[in-house]
Amino acid sequence: MIVKLIISENFLEHVCETGMFFCLHRLNISKVSYNTNTMQINSWGIKQRIAEAYIGEYASGKSEMAVNRALYLLHNGFTPVTLVDLDLVEPFYTLRPIKVQLEVEGLEVIAWETADTLGLGEAGNILKPGMRWALKKEGSVIFDVGYGIDGANKTRLLEGAGELKIYVVVNIARPMTGDVMRIVEYVQSLGRVDGLINNSHLGDDTDLEIINEGVEVVTEAAKKFGLPVIWTAVEEKFAEQIGDYDKKGNPVFFLKRRMQHTFW
């Protein structure tokens, strides 16, 4: 029997690490094609846990990436999926306006709600207990690590953070990460990192030019560290123009913008 398995590079790496590779062989899976956006491994009943943290420069698109990734996992069987808003500087803002909507859609969201924050205002600088223990939960866990400059340091507050994949979201339209040199300087300041995500865009004014420039720049920066470009993230409306892989061969992740309904 030939089974076509569509699987991500990232996942394969995980498979090797977890010994699941052996299982795949037992299934006689002989042909593997890579496509991040159509990861269907769960059709064969293999329960895959994904634990990722998204870090990056302020307003790089971390939250957009984290929310979209969490929803992707939810809709592709990597369930249950928990999304954690790990912003300790301004902890009451980022996901709050869309928290309930995301819960309705099926995510478990660990973030503050308006009622919880009554009286705390900006003075509250606290870790919600559920955040610390989120990695002990069953299923997939995605962290949106707010307020960029601390990098991966905040994940030290989490129990079991060792298993986390830490991805840096980079938008080259942000001058702080506007060219290879600046990205390198920035990534060096972040601590442990497992991959870069090219999320180069100009909001509503995004065009192919900025996306493709981002592909070049971020891929080159990633090479300097020997890190993979996990995805080039683009809005869905560019799907036809870009395809499943960008011109440097990095997989493309298609985003639906959710953060327009928030303001932080």
Partner 1 sequence: MLEKPIGGEKRVFMTGNEVVAWAALAAEADIMYGYPITPQNEVMHYWTRLAPKYGRSFLQTEDEISAGFTTCGGVLSGKRAFTATAGPGNILMQESMTMAEMMRIPTVLVVQQRGGPSTATVIYSQQEVTMTCFGGNGEGLRIVYSTCSHQELYDYTIKAFNVAWKYRFPVFVLGDGYQAKMRESLKMYDPATKGIKMVETQPSLGLAGVPGVDREPSHLRNTYNTEEELCEVVTNLVKEYNKVVPEVVEYETFETEVAEIVLLGHGIVTRAAQAAVKTLREQGIKVGHFRPITIHPFAADELRAICKHAKKLIVIESAQGQFERIVKEAIYGESVPMESYFKPGQGVTGEEIVEYVKKGL
Residues near partner 1 (CB under 8 A) are 58-59, 90, 93, 121-122, 149, 171, 173-176, 178, 201-205, 210, 263-264
b/e per residue, 87-121, with b = 16+ CB within 10 A?
Answer: bbeebbbbbbebbeebeeeebbbbbbeeeeeeeee
Residue 9 or 150 having the CB closest to partner 1: 150
Residue 201 or 258 having the CB closest to partner 1: 201
Least distance between partner 1 and beta carbon 263 (Å): 6
The secondary structure of 199-231 as a DSSP string is ---BTBT--HHHHHHHHHHHHHHHHHHT--EEE
- 59, 177 in Cβ contact below 8 A? no
Least distance between partner 1 and beta carbon 225 (Å): 21
Least distance between partner 1 and beta carbon 87 (Å): 12
User: In angstroms, rounded to a whole number, what is the distance separating the alpha carbons of residues 127 and 77?
Assistant: 29
User: In angstroms, rounded to a whole number, what is the distance separating the alpha carbons of residues 37 and 71?
Assistant: 12
Least distance between partner 1 and beta carbon 137 (Å): 30
Residue 50 or 187 having the CB closest to partner 1: 187
- 41, 7 in Cβ contact below 8 A? yes
Residue 64 or 108 having the CB closest to partner 1: 64
Residue 14 or 201 having the CB closest to partner 1: 201
User: In angstroms, rounded to a whole number, what is the distance separating the alpha carbons of residues 62 and 87?
Assistant: 11
Residue length of the chain: 264
Three-state helix/strand/coil letters over 238-255: HHHHHCCECCCCCEEEEE
Residue 18 or 260 having the CB closest to partner 1: 260
Least distance between partner 1 and beta carbon 261 (Å): 12
Least distance between partner 1 and beta carbon 122 (Å): 5
Q: What is the DSSP letter of 22?
A: H
Burial of 142 (0-12, 13-18, 19+ CB in 10 A): buried
Tell me, what amino acid is at 213? E
Residue 245 or 264 having the CB closest to partner 1: 264
Which residues does residue 31 pair with via DSSP β-bridges, in sequence order? 4
Residue 78 or 92 having the CB closest to partner 1: 92
Q: Give, for 264, the enclosing helix (H) or strand (E).
A: none
Least distance between partner 1 and beta carbon 171 (Å): 6
| Helices 208-225, 180-188: inter-axial angle, 10-degree rounding | 50
